[in-house]
Structure 1
Amino acid sequence: MEIIYEFCAGLNVHQNNVVACILDGPLTSTRPKKHLKKFDTTTKGLLGLHEWLTEFNCEIIAMESTGIYWKPIWHILQGSFDLVLANPYKIKNIPGQKTYKKNASWIAKLLRVDLIPKSFVPEEPIQDLRELTRLRIMWIESRNREKNRAHKILQTAGIKITSYMTDIFGMSGRNLLNLLINEEKVEDAVYTSLKFKVPELVEGLTGFFRSHHRFLLKQVLDVIDIYNDKIKELELKIAECLEPYQEYVDNLITIPGISEDSAAVIISEFRVNMNQFSSAEKLASWVGLCPGNNESAGKRRSTRISKGNSYAKKILCQCAYSACRSNHLRFKNYYQRISQNRGGKRATVAVAHLITRIIYYMIPRNEIYQE
């Protein structure tokens, strides 16, 4: 194999320490000098790692993406060295050869011959936005779990208001739930068209709702209110971080199915510069929307999509689901054509793949979507 780098380093990252291996040798040498040293992952230890790597004039440094432990090291070394973040699954060592020193040496050897594919690491403003949008998704999912728990309590107590209301956590729904807790009149708790359903709601509220259920429901509603407040705070912070990218957000929401919240997630996961992806197909593959390519002896095996970026894939599939049910013929017809032969789920993934390719060209060109 052709040797690419004279001075390179591999880092084996752990929670409390990091082991660095530097390979030093000319491009014609297949037996370079090896320098190993262990550092703590405190700020003082990482600064010592930075100084030690500088003494050897390292051209490039590779490290595994071990949990979140790589992030402080990346923060200290970025700007001074060319860094490569490696997927541990793609650089596994030979079985039976696993120690922290051998791992660092193995990473350095692979890097020296340029066999480590780079993982995508955006700049810090996009990283901050990404952490905010991912935390918002986590709070929403946690809030949904609490809402399901409230539904369970109501059904256990024989309360059937969900048969007459679409959303029991709207204004009228929350008033009815407070009515159950405080024992007030139904007529004063509902709004709009629900006023005509008061007899049905009274019947739906008639069950065996005891003090035990009242206590459980109040606990769950308090937790839901906490999540609502936290989500509102996050949305304000996300809007503040999105101000430099507002023009791109306005362009993205012209695509059917994409809302402002979806656009925020897309920008946080993709960023606005697509130089890290050589083509739209590469971006779709990174997200995990491309069919698998597994063929042997003329037989094609599983074509299941890869895991990819779960946050981006989930939001794009939601946008695709919404776009397929809109009045825009392009996505609707595309979905119907594929779903006839491949089913609804595969058709939704195909539409998400199409939206991803559209985004790849729209963001760098700063254009709006045209049907």
Structure 2
Amino acid sequence: MAKRKVKGNPNATITMPIVNPGAAGIDIGSRSHFVCVSQDNVKEFKSFTSGLHEIAEHLLYYEIKTIALESTGFYWQQLFVLLQSYGFEVILVNARHVKNVKGHKTDVVDSKWLQLLHSIGLLSNSFQPDFFTKELRQYVRHRKSLIETGSMYIAKMNKSLVLMNIQLKTVLRDLTGESGLKVIEAIVKGVRDPDVLEPLVGKRVKASRQDIKDALNGDWRGEHLFELSQNYSFYQFTREKIKETDNR
């Protein structure tokens, strides 16, 4: 049976039946993890790979069968997989669902709270997708991050152009469409003449050819051209990485 003191009455306790004998609770951290195998047995382990194996051996020694981990950031993932490989039942708990009573919170207190709740069966396992779904989700998230990075460089390229009064965005809907990239690439390679740049813009663009020439006539500044060249290279790099990700 598990006992818990009643707040406001130090002499009173609540007795609750043990549902999960051999339950442990682990408070996850970036540098170390606190492992509670009973309310009077909490030990700290480093988050290095060797430390994760030490945790597993520690749990085996105390004949732990089931373990509750708090889903703190992404630091839980390696320990979760490793403990499963050792044959433990591991449940992942949403941190918002295991908030302790008010008071000073420490890693030791949190691990003991997890162990107590798990031992009396009050914790529910968060949904865990299968391996294929996890892998696919990681690629999708990485691809999204690359797209966001590319968008940042598009904005930087447009800023460099505007600072030189090259109003390409006023005549093109998409700066990184076929016409826009041809013009930017030519500028990066040293072309400055609007009469040479204008034919690079496709005939399907609605703006008049004269407006396109006027938009490409600006104040060419070395520092802005340098930034444009750098950001164009970074943008092309992200495009290549997106293609590599798509081919995984």
Which bin holds the TM-score, normalised by the shorter protein? 0.7 to 0.9
Alignment of 1:58-137 (within 5 A): 58-79=64-85, 80-137=87-144
- Unaligned runs of 5+ residues in structure 1 are 24-32, 238-371
- Residues 1:216 and 1:44: Cα distance change in structure 2 (over 3 Å): closer
CA distance in 1, matches of 2:82, 2:219: 61
Alignment of 1:229-248 (within 5 A): 229-237=240-248
Deviations 1:258-310 (A, max 9, x none): xxxxxxxxxxxxxxxxxxxxxxxxxxxxxxxxxxxxxxxxxxxxxxxxxxxxx
Contact 1:187 1:195 in 2 (8 A): no
Letter in 2 for 1:108: Q
RMSD after superposition: 2.2
Identity percentage of aligned residues: 28
Q: Secondary structure at the match of 1:229?
A: helix
Count of residues in Structure 1 that have an aligned counterpart in Structure 2:
228
Contact 2:198 2:216 in 1 (8 A): no
With a CA cutoff of 8 Å and minimum separation of 6, indicate the structure with the bigger relative contact order: 2
Q: Which one has a larger percent strand, Structure 1 or Structure 2?
A: 2
Q: Secondary structure at the match of 1:115?
A: coil
- Residues 1:196 and 1:105: Cα distance change in structure 2 (over 3 Å): closer
Letter in 2 for 1:76: L
- Unaligned runs of 5+ residues in structure 2 are 1-15
What does residue 197 of structure 2 align with?
A: 186
Q: Secondary structure at the match of 1:20?
A: strand
Q: TM-score, normalised by structure 1?
A: 0.57
Could you list the structure 1 runs, at least 4 aligned residues long, displaced by more than 3 angstroms after superposition.
194-197
What does residue 218 of structure 1 align with?
A: 229
Residue 159 of structure 2 corresponds to residue 144 of structure 1: no
What does residue 5 of structure 2 align with?
A: none
Q: Which one has a larger percent helix, Structure 1 or Structure 2?
A: 1
What does residue 11 of structure 1 align with?
A: 26
Q: Secondary structure at the match of 2:92?
A: strand
What is the Cα deviation at residue 164 of structure 1?
1.7
Contact 2:70 2:93 in 1 (8 A): yes
CA distance in 1, matches of 2:58, 2:185: 64
What does residue 206 of structure 1 align with?
A: 217
Contact 1:186 1:198 in 2 (8 A): no
CA distance in 1, matches of 2:224, 2:49: 51
Letter in 1 for 2:139: L
What does residue 36 of structure 1 align with?
A: 42
- Residues 1:179 and 1:48: Cα distance change in structure 2 (over 3 Å): closer
Contact 1:18 1:38 in 2 (8 A): yes
CA distance in 2, matches of 1:44, 1:186: 60
Alignment of 1:291-302 (within 5 A): none
Please point out which of 55, 62, 85 is paired with 1:56: 62
What is the Cα deviation at residue 228 of structure 1?
0.5
- Residues 1:52 and 1:208: Cα distance change in structure 2 (over 3 Å): same
What is the Cα deviation at residue 64 of structure 1?
1.1
What is the Cα deviation at residue 44 of structure 1?
2.6
Q: Secondary structure at the match of 1:209?
A: coil
Q: Secondary structure at the match of 1:152?
A: helix
Deviations 1:153-211 (A, max 9, x none): 22222222222211121221112123334225035423342498432210111222322
